[in-house]
Amino acid sequence: MFSYCSDPHTLEGARWLSCYLTTGKQMAFYASFATVLALLLVTAPVALLFGFGGAMAARSHFLPLRWFGRGYSAIVRGVPDIAFFLFFVIALDQGLEYIRHKIKCPDWDQPIRQGNDFVVCPQAKLPLSSSPQWVHEVYGFSLAVVTFAIVFGAFAANVLYGAMRAVPRAQIETAEAYGMTRRQTFWRILVPQMWIYALPGLSNLWMILIKATPLLFLLGIEDIVYWARELGGMKTSAFAYPHPDWRLWYFLALMVFYLTLTRVSEVFLGRLAARLTHGQATIGGERLRTAAR
């Protein structure tokens, strides 16, 4: 980064530290914070979409669809997150490669399962070995998003299902009395009013999702936990920038990052709750109405 960084062994003090903090690996560490934020921003709406679909399925009058919606929520919520992450990513990756293998290599005469190895033809690999590095990173990130979305979508489905049931039945009956169809009642009456009941549960899910982002490390993605452990470990004189065990300071930086992120989230969600409860016949709405007097 700086011209005087050409020979790190001749540096001391602040100049050494400035060179150390601007190395390529340090820049990758800084970029990994953006990876975590990107995961949150992409996963949250996708998980909410999964949850909304699961809640709608659980309320369906079609029995198999109702079983599917309730089974999805019950099964995924009943499996420990870490076990699901370790299993599902491998299963999804191998499932996609198996389908590609059957399509692209129909003449393959060797078994796919060879002991502990899963072997498919080179054309079926995801991504291809000849693909650039960014393709491998995007593919891994996409698997992580899908996995996080399925897990937290199951919890969101349970929250949204309860929120739909919390909307006063009188609202639904009034809409029906005015001649609204079931579809109109759902989208115009039930859905707009359910969010205020769902927000506390969804807020908790958002906080849990933030705390779950270190699981990216288990999925093989070079996230902030990976780089904190990699860069913070003791570096001997064989390295360009030798230093003792600094993992305490790296993980302290992660703690500050997560505490800051959760605090910003709390402020935002609090303001969102105040906006949604305004004029609503809820405890929060009554509190706002009383305070305005």
SS3 at position 235:
strand
Contact 20, 253 (CB under 8 A): no
Report, as an integer, the average pLDDT of 157-170: 90
What does the pLDDT read at residue 150?
92
pLDDT at residue 181 tops 90: no
> What is the distance between the terminal CA atoms of the chain, rounded to a whole angstrom?
60
CATH tag, 35-226+242-291: 1.10.3720.10
| DSSP conformational letter for 177 | H
CB count within 10 Å of CB 262 equals: 14
pLDDT at residue 51 tops 80: yes
Lowest-confidence pick of 10-19, 25-34, 159-168, 261-270:
10-19
Amino acid at 14: A
Q: In sequence order, what are the beta bridge partners of 110?
A: none
The C-alpha atoms of residue 213 and residue 258 are separated, in whole angstroms, by: 10
pLDDT at residue 260 tops 90: yes
CA distance readout (Å), 284 to 138, 189, 278: 42, 20, 8
The C-alpha atoms of residue 125 and residue 129 are separated, in whole angstroms, by: 7
Report, as an integer, the average pLDDT of 5-29: 82
SS3 at position 116:
coil
**What region, left, alpha or beta, does residue 180 occupy, with left being phi > 0 and alpha being psi -120 to 50 degrees?**
beta
Burial grade of 96 (CB within 10 A; 0-12, 13-18, 19 or more): middle
pLDDT at residue 287 tops 60: no
pLDDT at residue 14 tops 90: no
Contact 224, 210 (CB under 8 A): no
Q: Report domain extents, the chain.
A: 35-226+242-291
Amino acid at 66: R
- Name 160's Cβ contacts closer than 8 Å, sequence gap at least 6: 51, 52, 54, 55, 194, 198
CB count within 10 Å of CB 278 equals: 13
Amino acid at 248: L
109-149 pLDDT tens trace: 888 887 777 888 888 888 877 788 888 888 888 888 998 99
pLDDT at residue 91 tops 80: yes
Contact 211, 258 (CB under 8 A): yes
What does the pLDDT read at residue 284?
46
